[in-house]
Amino acid sequence: MPKQTFILNGKPVTVNVNDDVRVLWVLRDLLGVTGPKYGCGINVCKACTSHINGKAFNPCSVKVGDLKKKDRVTTIEGLPDTVGKKLHPMQQAWIDRDVPQCGYCQPGQIMAAVATVKKVRREGRQLRESDLDEIRNICRCGTYARIREAVEEGARNMR
Amino acid sequence: MSIAETATDAGNMHNPSSAAGSGGSGLGRRSFLGYVIGGTTLVAAAELAAPARSEAVIPSLPQVPELYDLEDLQTDAALPTSALISVTINSDGTASFAIPRAEVGQGITTSTAMILADELDLPVSKVKVTLAPARPELMFNQLTGGSNTTVSTYTPIRVAAAIARNALLDAAAIELGYAVARLRTYEGLVEAPDGTTIGYGELAQKAASPDTKQVEVALKEAKDRKVVGRPHNRDDALAAVTGQKDFSMDLDVKGALPTMVCRAPTLNGTPRRLKNRKKIKRMPGVKDVVKVDTGIAVRARTFGQCIDAIREMKVVWNKGSAEGESDQTILAGLRRAELPMVVPNVPILAEQIDADFAFAFRSSAALEPNCAIADVREDSAEIWAGLKVPILAQQNIAQAVGLRQDQVKVNVITSGGSFGHKLFSDAAIEAAKISQKMKKPVRLMWHRADEPRQGRLHPMCTSRVRATMLGNEVLSFEQRNTSVVTDFSHGLGEIITSTIDEAPTDVGKALGGLGFSETIFTLTQELPYNFGAVTQLLNETDDRFNTGSMRNIYSPDTAVASELVIDMMAKKMKMDPLEFRLKFIKDDRTRACLEKVAKEGNWGRRMPAHRAQGIAVHKEYKGATAVLVEIDTRPSTVNRKIRNAVTGPRVTKVVMAVDAGLVINPRGLEAQMQGGFMDGLALTLTSSCHLRNGKFLEASWDNYFYTRQWNVPRKIDVHIMDPGVDQPGGAGEAGVPASAAAVACAYARAVGKVPTAFPINHGEISFKPKTFVPPVPKSPTNGLKFTY
């Protein structure tokens, strides 16, 4: 069985599994990293949103064989380390605004929010309502209003 | 002196109010009986008499829910076994309580910790609320539904906590050498007049009783509450935002490998045989393949390999339960079953409005799909799943695998949402059957595509209304719902059977002879207006579908229909919709909510073309809700483009007012109302399932259009009313009906036409249906193209 090596939350990991297994299952079923959730498996619900080399991606839709040795995969578990703190400002905003209800989608929501803020900064502009409108992550509890507030608060505290 | 004796004295010796530092004699305060349970650390439990119920005072003929509603029924059903609710004080100074309810996102572990903290004088962070496993001895007292948790558990858990606090005071009196009346408790400490303190942890064992004793206790008064009624963040928020909150599929159960089921192309089709079993068994990662009644189950190293195996399976299927049927044929069946309206004997000059609305099938699926871990052995079984009725699950699982009920351990795990879905234990039963056949532990998860296609749906229904008016008076208002059968086999049915006989006499008479569904309809529907002769009835037909309640049972559809007709009546009387409602509204609490949203939402402000306000109320769950919305139906808004999205009309502003009785946690209530609005919005505008030729077409969140960020109003204000009562109401479902109705009313006013079918976009299919064979879509491989 092929060996798959990539960097997960700052540490290199190697897993024996076929190339075509999607990264989500490598994380959850083989490595026991359960922050990214399954909600559809077809890159629609975005519950598994994580980062690859600092950008948002959905591991349900990427073959593990397509990851390179130097690719840095960050899940919600590794997000605080990216800022060297106990909590990322976006996670803190989520707590301050008491966003989660059932909490199932929230790891993905937070990872999407961080990437969205970084994206608009790369584009040299401020966060707009239309950016929030286009966040595709589903929250079946309907916490959308507090998510919008928290993304704005988290953005203010992101350096 | 044994602690037991001290505790026995508790009710008489203490003046709990002086011990609480609140003054007053305590005379006239109701006292409650409870127990200190024998053991090595302090455990207090509650036993209750039936709480007094306020008398009905409405002189006109009241509808049943005004006297006795579903909340009362569930609360009464819960009473006989409430004695078994117990609070434990641990030697580390924490209190623990296993609530016999399910946390599915509604926030009951947080609100319960708050209630306990207040009564115990302990910081909320030191109260650990967990979910009790299935406890068959609780009988009916372990069903989470009908927004009833706080309504039914509020008093019992306070009694248990108050007894624990008294026992701690008794123990402290001995340790500190002062009479109980001179001690005070705060922040988990007992303090003597000389300033010496002793912690609850240190007292826990000293306060323990060697044997179980009955004691009497009075509860804290409203003015002494420090936690209840103040905003509090969720107890599990940190775990949720760090990915540490465990759901069923995150649990590490040895050997429980990923398992999925290849399901039939048509609704409820059953498998005859798997033609390529050998090939499937040889696929990468695949360990086990068995046939069960719902399909072909595969257990593999990863879920991805289960999906790959399902896509390769060649299965011969038996027919489904609705072969050849479509939305239109089912609707025609409902029409045939509709009861005739009673034509009222009204004066010749009376005007009449007849209206007729159809509501499509909708999926109650949560984001966490149906799932369960099962480990079934020869003489025992253990299950882990999000279950709102775990005792029934335990019975059903025992039956399904041929074990005794006491051989099945059922662990209740926090769920990734429920919305009615987790009242049923479909996945847990299926997982148990598969585990038994494979002789191995299984981690069963449904594919997303399985949910709308084979999972529980809110039934299709019609609602017809006939209203008659004479001059400025309303003579009658008749509402007739006709629905595909709603499945109540989750236990609420059993509760009704056993409780209804004990309901107040008038209620018993009104409900006598009705079936489960009609009874629940009658217990939940209440039109809060003085409209003369009001009747609301339900008729059901067609039991071939997998159904259940969906964040409310009947109320959203009933409210949409009735509130739209109310706008039509107002128009006929040339009255403003708000003015009309205020004129006819029955009770002050509902009126107060309506007035609040009208004021805060600036009702009646001039709106540009294609934009309008809508206003609606709903009364249920021991409270009331009013919602005002503004909607934008300009073509430029309706046709705005977002990839693979249903955009459509946009609600731009929402103002809600909720009277939920005594509010435990305003921040949690606000969250429930905001979430309830998102549900109501989807029900009216976007979310439905389409039945074509015996199959439901939806298979993805980009097919089933639950509210997404591009539909979300940019402004949503929630006002929490204080009716000055000491009875908590329900919260989880309360926000949905008036929201759905207000959006419908606003839409009708904006487009100048009252829609007759909901959701309004049901007529068009805005997606390309995914394959039925194989029943699950391939996971994409191009994810790296969409990084951002």
Q: How far is A21 from chain B (nearest CA, A)?
A: 6
pLDDT in tens, B225-264: 999 999 999 999 999 999 999 999 999 999 999 999 999 9
Decide if the complex's ipTM is over 0.95.
yes
Closest CA to B36 of B286, B289, B210: B210
Confidence band of B93 (pLDDT split at 50, 70, 90)? very high
> For B307-336, what is the mean pLDDT?
97
Contact assignment for A58 to B786 by CB distance below 8 Å: yes
In terms of C-beta density within 10 A (0-12 exposed, 13-18 middle, 19 or more buried), how is residue B321 classed?
middle
Domain boundaries, chain B: 3-227, 253-321+364-454, 338-362+457-758
Q: In this structure, what DSSP letter does residue A22 have?
A: B
Contact assignment for A52 to B242 by CB distance below 8 Å: no
- Distance between CA atoms of B785 and B312, rounded to whole angstroms? 27
Give yes or no for A26 touching B (CB within 8 A).
Answer: yes
Contacts of B123 (CB under 8 A, 6+ apart): B117, B187, B188
Q: What is the pLDDT of residue B143?
A: 80
> Is the predicted pLDDT of residue B69 greater than 80, yes or no?
no
The CATH number given to B253-321+364-454 is: 3.30.365.10
The CATH number given to B3-227 is: 3.30.365.10
pLDDT in tens, A69-100: 999 999 999 999 999 999 999 999 999 999 99
pLDDT in tens, B78-92: 554 445 788 999 999
| The dihedral sign for the CA sequence B10, B14, B17, B18 | negative
Share of chain B above pLDDT 90, in %: 74
Confidence band of B148 (pLDDT split at 50, 70, 90)? confident
- Distance between CA atoms of B144 and B147, rounded to whole angstroms? 8
Q: Residue B128 has which token pair? A: 């650990």
The CATH number given to A3-75 is: 3.10.20.30
Q: What is the pLDDT of residue B504?
A: 64
Q: Are B739 and B676 in contact (CB under 8 A)?
A: yes
Q: What is the pLDDT of residue B343?
A: 65
pLDDT in tens, A9-62: 999 999 999 999 999 999 999 999 999 999 999 999 999 999 999 999 999 999
The CATH number given to A81-157 is: 1.10.150.120
> Is the predicted pLDDT of residue B742 greater than 80, yes or no?
yes
Contact assignment for A42 to B777 by CB distance below 8 Å: yes
Task: Among A30, A98, A136, select the one facing B667 at the smallest CB separation.
Answer: A98
Contact assignment for A55 to B104 by CB distance below 8 Å: no
> Is the predicted pLDDT of residue B675 greater than 50, yes or no?
yes
In terms of C-beta density within 10 A (0-12 exposed, 13-18 middle, 19 or more buried), how is residue B349 classed?
exposed
Report strand pairing: B461-470 vs B351-359: antiparallel
- Give the distance, in angstroms, between the CA of residue B96 and the centroid of all CA atoms in the same chain: 24
Confidence band of B16 (pLDDT split at 50, 70, 90)? very low
Q: What is the pLDDT of residue A15?
A: 98
pLDDT in tens, B108-129: 999 999 999 999 999 999 999 9
Class of domain B338-362+457-758: alpha beta
Contact assignment for A133 to B239 by CB distance below 8 Å: no
Domain boundaries, chain A: 3-75, 81-157
Q: How far is B230 from chain A (nearest CA, A)?
A: 14
Q: What is the pLDDT of residue B20?
A: 36
Q: How many CB pairs under 8 A join A and B?
A: 233
- Distance between CA atoms of A15 and B138, rounded to whole angstroms? 47
Q: What is the pLDDT of residue B47?
A: 53
> Is the predicted pLDDT of residue B29 greater than 80, yes or no?
no
